[in-house]
Amino acid sequence: MASSWPLNSEGDDWAPFPKFNVHNTNGFPVQHSSAFNIPDYMHNGHVGYPQGNMSAECRALLKPMTRRIYACLSCGRVARADNTQCNIANCYLPYMAHFDHVFSNTNLPTDMVEIRQTGTNQGYGVFARVAIPEDTILGFYLGEVHDQTAFFTDPATTSWYVFTTTRAAVDSRDYGNWTRFVNSHCDPNVSATIRNVGQVEGIAFQTARQINPGDQLFINYGRGYFAGDGEKPLLYCTCDAHEGPHLPPFDDEDDYAERYNKEVSRPKIDKGWRNKYRDTTSGKTRISKKFSSTTMTRSRLQAYLKTLPIEEIKKEVDPEQRTRSGSVDKTDPI
């Protein structure tokens, strides 16, 4: 059956797609890390969507669209008119409505933000060009949509760009929009929350407080993104809320010691930052409560690491940084 956009065929002719994350994080190899000239890629403000107004150069860089990206975010099924499993009324139409809406948010809102190198080990970041008021919806996190279970049990690839909704895994490693460049901070100024558009879920990026011109936009990837599920942390957060590379604290700092029997060390809070956010009434450090309700995940990276011989892991990760005491201060009296 001939198919036309958006019901594209899968095909095997995927073009190699350039990757952004050219730096190594804490000695871990970042796969597919060929350098890329971002101004070309960002050409007309799009990252990876076959929009009508995308330049030919940009389009040429993209993989042909696959059916995967049309999976319904609500039911997780592939949204095709000929897919009898998908209830067109409940899934496909709202899905299309969702994406009509989301596509209008796909452009980099160049009046508001810009993407540039942070000059740190975090690679590119997104910066405000103007003051952006609290509670502004900036856009939706877009990427290849996978069935969550299938995605996390497939050891074939790893991605550092995965958000989960209740059923889907949205991976912006190869396709996505500007939101994939938003870095993580322990006191984020942007929240990432699952929001429904009709019956379809999307991951909305919304300012958690007023953002000033020049400020970098940050969400909080969540402790799990850095700590992983295994014995060794996958990566240390280098945001300036805490001194030195650290694991982000658990969401509720006051609950922290009790919940984890005081065995888990806390990141040492940068004194300047701590005073800035100190609640003068209670004396406690205020951590933004607008944490992401959905977090990025790196389970597949862990799966990949498990496949490496132990000697190689040792080589790749600085042993100093692998121990918690090497990166956080157990004596911090908070």
Ligand X SMILES: C[S@@+](CC[C@H](N)C(=O)[O-])C[C@H]1O[C@@H](n2cnc3c(N)ncnc32)[C@H](O)[C@@H]1O
Residue 181 touching ligand X (CB under 6 A): yes
**Coil, helix or strand at residue 270:** coil
Q: Is residue 144 within a helix (H) or strand (E), and if so which, with residue range?
A: strand 144-147
In the set 164, 238, 285, 299, which binds ligand X (CB under 6 A)?
238
- Between residue 32 and residue 91, which ones bind ligand X under the rule CB under 6 A? none
Site membership for ligand X, residue 193 (CB under 6 A): no
75, 86 in Cβ contact below 8 A?
yes
**Does residue 180 belong to the site contacting ligand X (CB under 6 A)?**
yes
123 binds ligand X (CB under 6 A): yes
- The label of the residue with tokens 């190899």 reads 29
User: What minimum distance in Å lies between the beta carbon of 223 and ligand X?
Assistant: 12
Q: Does 27 bind ligand X (CB under 6 A)?
A: no
Q: 76 vs 267, which CB is nearer to ligand X?
A: 267
Tokens of 25: 């994080």
Q: Kindly state the smallest distance separating residue 40's Cβ from ligand X, in Å.
A: 15
Please identify which residue in the block is written with the tokens 């005073």: 275
Interaction between residue 327 and ligand X (CB under 6 A): no
What distance in Å separates the CA atoms of residue 308 and residue 181, rounded to the nearest whole number? 28
Residue with smallest beta-carbon separation from ligand X: 123
d(CA 39, CA 49): 16
Of 80-88, 177-185, 277-285, 307-315, the segment contacting ligand X by CB under 6 A is: 177-185
**Closest distance between ligand X and the C-beta of residue 263, in Å?**
24
**Burial tier of 149 (Cβ tally within 10 Å: 0-12, 13-18, 19+):** exposed
Total residues interacting with ligand X, rule: CB under 6 A:
16
Q: Which of 74, 105, 106, 122 binds ligand X (CB under 6 A)?
A: 122
Residues pairing with 190 in the sheet: 207
Q: Which of 231, 223, 240, 243 is nearest to 322 (CA)?
A: 231
**How many other CB atoms are there within 10 angstroms of residue 250's CB atom?**
17
Residues 147-176 that bind ligand X (CB under 6 A): 160-161
Considering the complex, what minimum distance in angstroms separates the CB of residue 122 from ligand X?
4
Applying CB under 6 A, the residues found at the interface with ligand X are: 20-21, 25, 122-125, 160-161, 180-181, 183-184, 237-239
